[in-house]
Amino acid sequence: MRSENFLNQTSSPWPGREDLSDELNRLLGSLPDGGSDIAECLATARRIDVDDEDSWCREWTRLGDHARFVAETSASCGLDSAQNYWLRAINYYEAALFPFTSSDSRQQTVLARMRACSSAFLRCADPKGAVVTIPWRADYPLQGYFLPARGEAGKAATVICFVEPGRRKEAALLKLAGHAIARGLSLLVVDLLGVETASRFDDIVGSRDLESAVASVMDYVSEREDVDETRIAILAEDWGSSFVARGIALDQRYAAAVCDAGLWDVHERAFLARRSASGHGGLVSTIGTSRVARHIMCPVLIAMHEQGWLCPKQATKLVAQMKREHPDITLKILSGEQSSADASAAANEFIFDWIAMRLGSSTGLRS
């Protein structure tokens, strides 16, 4: 049975808790990446009692512990299957963390296990990856996962995946590692949650210079001896990220970017202009290009689902307007449900092919 069919046939496994159903959808959507097994996911879902507030965390943590045990056993025997089980463990722990706030003590326990599995996955990679600490603020360094390009001698083209503020980087590692490896690209995945499991993100989230993290990560990557500093791309884990767009508008060193390129800003300005026109006899002044877009100098891919936050017709119109001042913007409208495993895999294939072409990866497009 396909995962999509299960959820369609049972409109919601937990009536009244669509948030939990959405998280189960995310898990089932990670099947192509090796991040879950449909049978064990559905069996776990059936054991969850929404009337027991500990049930969700307990069941997914138990499944994560099992995957971690299998991974450890496989690794001790030198089996390649260990990598997939590390990824499964990461994914199941991510699900266990879903309902928690950063202040919940259970979060720290599960997060520590998830990070340990991520570290083990990197050690099993070929070539081996590493957990890295990236200087940012004096009292708040960032943590990232770095996977070097396979088969690349010397300096390699590199993709930095920046996770949206408040989100964790482990899920992005799970989704993107295979795409980077297949194209001869190094990959750094980083979030803003800091090094410690007891995150202090709530203390910094309101700061005005949050986007300065984008430049700090670039400083770190460009100084690595195994990275070609002229071939570094940045990918927003959330393709519509205005956070990454604002960051690269302040840093001209990136060779390519996948983000919203200031589209949200343009959309907001158009909305306000229409409201203003309705109060002034229908007269609309010319809508200027986004200040963010004007300062982005590298080629940009804007990837959007056809059922995303902005309808394709309006997105096409606004991007055409942006191209007047930034002609090297590509808009890709992606078909299929956002939670669909096949659609997600196809989208990442397109995105990494675009990045590989822009960076001139020696491996090039995946055949």
For 4-26, what is each residue's pLDDT tens digit? 444 554 456 787 788 888 888 88
Mean pLDDT over residues 24-31, rounded? 77
Helical pair 81-97 and 55-76, crossing angle rounded to 10 deg: 160
Average pLDDT of the chain to the nearest whole number: 83
- Please tell me whether residue 238 adopts helix, strand or coil conformation: coil
Mean pLDDT over residues 56-73, rounded? 96
| Angstrom distance (rounded) from CA 327 to CA 324 | 6
User: What burial class does residue 281 get, using C-beta atoms within 10 Å of its C-beta: 0-12 exposed, 13-18 middle, 19+ buried?
Assistant: exposed
Mean pLDDT over residues 97-118, rounded? 82
Asked if residue 272 has pLDDT above 60, the reply is: no
Copy the structure tokens of residue 288.
Answer: 């200027």
For residues 185 and 35, the model is more confident at 185
Asked if residue 283 has pLDDT above 50, the reply is: no
Mean pLDDT over residues 60-86, rounded? 94
| 226 residue type, one letter | D
1-124 CATH: 1.20.1440.110
pLDDT at res. 38: 85
Per-residue pLDDT reduced to its tens digit, 170-182: 989 988 999 999 9
pLDDT class of 352 with cuts at 50, 70, 90: very high
Least confident of 128-142, 173-187, 197-211: 197-211
Report whether 177 contacts 186 (CB < 8 A).
Answer: no
Copy the structure tokens of residue 172.
Answer: 């992005």
Asked if residue 105 has pLDDT above 60, the reply is: yes
pLDDT class of 362 with cuts at 50, 70, 90: low
For residues 341 and 116, the model is more confident at 116
Residues 6+ positions from 356 with CB-CB distance below 8 Å: 157, 183, 184, 185, 363, 364, 365, 366
Q: How far is CA 228 from CA 160, 275, 296, 317, in A?
A: 13, 47, 21, 36
Q: Is the CA virtual torsion 229, 241, 311, 277 positive or negative?
A: negative
Least confident of 53-62, 264-273, 308-317, 351-360: 264-273
> Is it true that 1-124 and 127-367 share their CATH fold?
no
For residues 192 and 22, the model is more confident at 192
Asked if residue 2 has pLDDT above 50, the reply is: no
CATH H-level, domain 127-367: superfamily: Alpha/Beta hydrolase fold, catalytic domain (3.40.50.1820)
Of 354, 351, 267, 259, the residue nearest 309 (C-alpha): 267
pLDDT at res. 284: 43
pTM of the model: 0.86
pLDDT at res. 3: 44
pLDDT at res. 132: 98
All structural domains of the chain with their residue ranges: 1-124, 127-367
The CA-to-CA distance between both ends of the chain, in Å, stands at 29
Q: What phi and psi values does residue 144 have, to the nearest 5 degrees?
A: -140, 165
| Angstrom distance (rounded) from CA 89 to CA 113 | 9
- pLDDT over 70 percentage in the chain: 82
| Angstrom distance (rounded) from CA 334 to CA 347 | 7
Residue 245 backbone zone (phi > 0: left; psi -120 to 50: alpha; other: beta):
alpha
pLDDT at res. 332: 92
